[in-house]
Every structure is written in C-alpha cells, then in structure tokens.
Amino acid sequence: MMEVRNAPPDIDQILVGAIDGERLTGDEICCLLNLQERSDFEKLFEAAREIRKKHFGDRIFLYGFIYFSTYCRNDCTFCFYRRSNKVSERYRKTTEEILDTAGKLSESGVHLLDLTMGEDPQYFTDNRFAGLLETVAAVKKDTGMPIMISPGVIPEEVLLAFRQIGVEWYACYQETHNRELYARLRLGQSYEERMQRKKYAREIGFLVEEGLLSGVGESAEDLLDSFKVMAELQADQLRVMSFIPQKGTPLENMETGSHLREMLIIAVMRLLFPDRLIPGSLDVDGIAGLKERLHAGANVVTSIIPPQKGFLGVSQSTLDIDEGTRTVAGVVPVLEECGLVPAGIDDYRCWMAETLMKRHNPDNAPGANK
C-alpha cells in the first residue's frame, strides 16, 4: 500500500490568508519560523509590510532611550550588566543629566522617552524610589512626552505611583516563556512574579511591552508558546532582539548564528499582531541593521541615544552612539530609503488613546492569531 504523506504547508496560501485577516494555525506559524529559502523570506517580509501599511500607513514611531543606571542586583547570564560582571561599566546618572538628555531627545523629534535601569539595589532600599519618582515626574513636566519605564520587577505600590504621575508604559521582558530556558537566563528570578507584574501594570492602566531574546536556544515551538502568552497578556508592544554574547558573562563564548532569525520573528509577529507596535532596535546591529528590521515589518525604531552624553546601550553598549547615527537625524534617511516617514507626536498619542479605548470595548479588543 502506498504511504500517504501530508503535503507541506503552502507558503503563499498562508501569507494570503494572513493578509486577509485569517488566524494562523500553530503548524503554519512554525512553518514560517522555520523558513530556509531567501525567496520565502522575502515573501514573508512583503506580507508583513503589507499588513503594517494597512494599519499604520507609512508612519514609523521613534523612541528615545535613557539608560540611567547600569547597576543591577540580578545575575542574568546573558546581560553585560549582571551583578557579578567585573568588566561592565557602572554609572548612576543624576537628575540633571537625565533631564538634560530627555530634553535633547524631545527636541530631536522622538515620540516617547524610554527610561531604563538595571534593578539597581540603591533604589530597592531605604525608600529610594521616592527620588526616582520625583525625577520621572520632572521629566514628564519638562518635556510633556509619553514615557516608558523599564525598571525591572519593582513593588506594585511603586508601579502604581508611576502610573499616578502620568507614566504611560511599563516594559518588562521575560526573554522566553520556556520555563527551563528562563531559569538558565534569569538566575534565581521568579517567572511568575515577573509575569504577574505586567498583568498588574495592565490592570492599573499601563500600556505594556513584552520582549523575547532570540538565539539563546529557543525552538520554533518555544516561540509559538511565547506568542500565545503575548496574546493572553494582550501586550501592546512586542519586541524581539538577537542575543549578543557579552564579555565577562557565562555566555561570553556562546556561538550565535545569523540575526535573520530576529527578522523572521518580527515578520511573524506582524502577521499575528497586526495592530500592535513592534520595534526594530538600533541596539543590536546599529544603524546598519535598521533597514532589514523595517523591511521585516517593524513600525517602531528604538534605542535612539544622543551622542556625547555618556549614556550606554544594552546589547551593544557603545555601537554608533558617539558617531551620532543612533539619532533621529541618523534614522530619517533610512526611513526615506524604505519609503517611510516619522509619525507625528499626535499620531502616537492617538494610537495610545485608541488602544486604551479598545480595552473597554471587548468587541473591538485586539487579539493575536492563535
């Protein structure tokens, strides 16, 4: 008797269905994540761009980045700023330095200020969050800009206080939703507590960003599970960044492949979450890598950092910063090459307002393909 085999999924059919708004199956999503042929990559990226255009036109949002403390109480195996790393540069920026940089970024044309720190022990003792709240409130008052805080797993009462002073976004990444892999990446940190903090942030009115790390041993099935969790969380912004081995860490000598995997994930996320914000970060490959991330369907440019201010990035702590290309002026020509333009600040505020309104109308609530 002749053996009957299931035909492999048809890439063109999957992509046409996605463009038409059909929900993708798990098998179809894994098929896209496992593409091997360049011609298939281009088909996927083209579909992602078409879906982005349906929801956002040619507008791209720009985020300023202020990494104001590189001290951290955690010992994540992938991070240059892990507690035990003796070779990483440490600093805590003053309120004056933060305000000055926030002002420069605001003037340059960014749409949001991302205020990021490691879980600096100084803030977790002696009620030091009070001083940080004052600083963030001053940034809000001086610039009037939308603000994202990325401070790690802070106490719920502190998170509520940030919301009460007008902070709009809370970013806190799991990196993976495979519990075993999470335990190897975020040593000694509770998966549940980290996830619960995001759920609480959403309940009290924050927009929430979730993030993945690519190239650390995750499988297509792991990514599929992550997409399901992101959908359940109803994350408003979804990020993926390629792992960069960091000097002085346990993963310093880990072999990494092409960053193409990151592009595939960006594109698949665009198909699954068509109306969400999906960043393309300057923190992995600098300005040289921006075009391919936009080509894959990203609609936000993150990690814009002003030169000569002494602020660092995360994955690539100094790449392109003091050369001045991780700026709005450096980004705009790349957008133009891609037929894209920076959005207006009113466009960004409108997107935030409409997204929050959807939460109160279940019939219009955004949902991922599952």
C-alpha triplet 77, 81, 82: angle, nearest 5°: 40
Question: Who contacts 333 (Cβ-Cβ below 8 Å, separation ≥6)?
Answer: none
Give the residue-averaged pLDDT of 343-355.
97
The β-bridge partners of 214 are 242
Taking the C-alpha atoms of residue 340 and residue 298, their distance in angstroms, rounded to an integer, is 11
Q: What is the pLDDT of residues 286-331, one digit of tens each?
A: 999 999 999 999 999 999 999 999 999 999 889 999 999 999 999 9
* CA neighbor of 65 nearest in space, from 119, 110, 97: 110
Q: What is the pLDDT of residues 123-143, one digit of tens each?
A: 988 667 999 999 999 999 999
Complete domains list, the chain, with CATH: 24-360 (3.20.20.70)
Give the residue-averaged pLDDT of 136-151.
98
Taking the C-alpha atoms of residue 341 and residue 350, their distance in angstroms, rounded to an integer, is 17
* pLDDT exceeds cutoff 50 at 156: yes
CA Rg value for the chain: 20
Strands (E), 226-297: 237-242, 279-281
pTM score: 0.94
Taking the C-alpha atoms of residue 217 and residue 208, their distance in angstroms, rounded to an integer, is 25
